[in-house]
Homo-oligomer: A and B are copies of this chain.
Amino acid sequence: MFEIISRSEIEKALLDIDLLGEIEQGFAALSLGKAIVPHVSELRLPRGEVHIKSGYIVGDAHFVVKLATGFYGNPARGLASSNGLMLVFDSETGTPAALLLDEGHLTDVRTAVAGAIAAKYLAPSSFSAIGIIGTGTQARLQAEYLALSTTTRQILVYGRNPSHVAAYKSELEKKGFNVRPCNSPGEVAHGARLIVTATPSTQPLLQADDVMPGTHITAVGADSPDKNELDPALFAKANIVVADSKSQCLTQGEILHAMRARTLDATKIRELGSVISKSVAGRTSEQEISIADLTGVAVQDIAIALAVWRIVKGKRS
């Protein structure tokens, strides 16, 4: 029986899932070498691009294929620029089991949950404000999903566009946050010990000199080799550098830029899954500076898709 699962069913199912636990298990499997993940396939069209990720965690009864589209002229047509779907297959027979018509929402959520996981293992034990650089969908979801691992509801936000900042403040305050706009990334860094950068910037926004001791930074914006949110000099200053996938971060994201600038030695990079499974340490003192570079990996898609599918299947049967 092949099941089609709509976005509204997916959104309901997400409320019943231990997202932190499920996605932590995915990262741990990746770092233990238990994930089979082929290279991402990319189809470039005149008006957009399609990324195809697939993967299997050894021992799972199912594997997952994800198609994510980005068409940057869509907002002018009143459509979201991102769309996509996920497919679940039986790993014993290859039989298609389910189509999740999530419109890219599960990618947004699993990316935000990874930020909450990074904060759980790497942020200092207490801090008065969360710093957010960026005002888009991911800047909003990162703040919201941080509630999975922190109790802080004070946000310092920086965005280039004042009307986007105002919309961000209004939306997050409806969700119970207190939001204070800042005039620069530096102002955010002075006031927040947990900072999330979530922009498509190709120039570093967060400068090394602005970051205070005892700060954790999660960078989620750089999903291609040209993007760069963090000053490469920050990596020389950091005590802890964590990648979602070490091999992937050497080819894209903040770590790539730091390696090119020779401010980071590859041996310093720890993998998030290894921190989760405690085979390497996370933060060990309140004064350390830590960075998590999250470029997005297929194990997150596998974990969230299979968790959603289990819930929906249970409700339907």
Residue from B36, B50, B79 within 8 A of A45 (CB atoms): B36
- Asked whether B47 lies within 8 Å of A89 as measured between CB atoms, the reply is no
Q: Which of A61-69, A131-139, A256-264, A272-280 contacts B (4 or more CB under 8 A)?
A: A61-69
A20-67 residues with Cβ-Cβ distance < 8 A to B are 36, 38-48, 50, 52, 54-56, 58, 63, 65, 67
**Which residues of chain B are near A44, meaning CB under 8 Å?**
36, 38
Residue from B40, B48, B94 within 8 A of A48 (CB atoms): B94
Residues 249-261 of chain A: 1 if any B CB is under 8 Å from the residue's CB, otherwise 0? 0000000000000
The answer to whether A54 and B55 touch (CB under 8 A), given A47-B91, A94-B71, A95-B83, is no
- Asked whether A69 lies within 8 Å of B83 as measured between CB atoms, the reply is no
Residue from B50, B63, B65, B94 within 8 A of A74 (CB atoms): B94
CB distance from A7 to the nearest CB of B (A): 11
**Which residues of chain B are near A47, meaning CB under 8 Å?**
91-93
Residue from B48, B50, B63, B77 within 8 A of A50 (CB atoms): B63
**Which residues of chain B are near A41, meaning CB under 8 Å?**
38-41, 52, 54
CB distance from A65 to the nearest CB of B (A): 6
Asked if A101 is at the interface of the complex by the 8 Å CB criterion, the answer is yes
- Residue in chain B with minimal CB distance to A79: B93
The answer to whether A94 and B70 touch (CB under 8 A), given A43-B55, A56-B45, is yes
Asked if A17 is at the interface of the complex by the 8 Å CB criterion, the answer is no
- Residue in chain B with minimal CB distance to A99: B99
Q: How far is the CA of A85 from the CA of B87 in the complex (A)?
A: 10
**Which residues of chain B are near A87, meaning CB under 8 Å?**
67, 85
| Protomer copies | 2
CB distance from A29 to the nearest CB of B (A): 15
**Which residues of chain B are near A85, meaning CB under 8 Å?**
87, 96
Residue from B43, B56, B94 within 8 A of A54 (CB atoms): B43
Q: How far is the CA of A63 from the CA of B47 in the complex (A)?
A: 12
A164-186 residues with Cβ-Cβ distance < 8 A to B are none
Q: How far is the CA of A2 from the CA of B73 in the complex (A)?
A: 21
CB distance from A83 to the nearest CB of B (A): 5
Asked if A4 is at the interface of the complex by the 8 Å CB criterion, the answer is yes
- Asked whether B43 lies within 8 Å of A69 as measured between CB atoms, the reply is no
- Residue in chain B with minimal CB distance to A47: B92
Q: How far is the CA of A43 from the CA of B69 in the complex (A)?
A: 20
A86-107 residues with Cβ-Cβ distance < 8 A to B are 87, 89, 91-96, 99, 101
- Asked whether A43 lies within 8 Å of B63 as measured between CB atoms, the reply is yes
Q: How far is the CA of A56 from the CA of B95 in the complex (A)?
A: 26
**Which residues of chain B are near A69, meaning CB under 8 Å?**
89, 94-95
List residues of chain A with CB under 8 Å of any chain B CB. 2, 4, 36, 38-48, 50, 52, 54-56, 58, 63, 65, 67, 69-71, 73-74, 77, 79, 83, 85, 87, 89, 91-96, 99, 101
Across the A-B interface, the 3 shortest Cβ-Cβ residue pairs = A69-B94, A41-B41, A71-B94
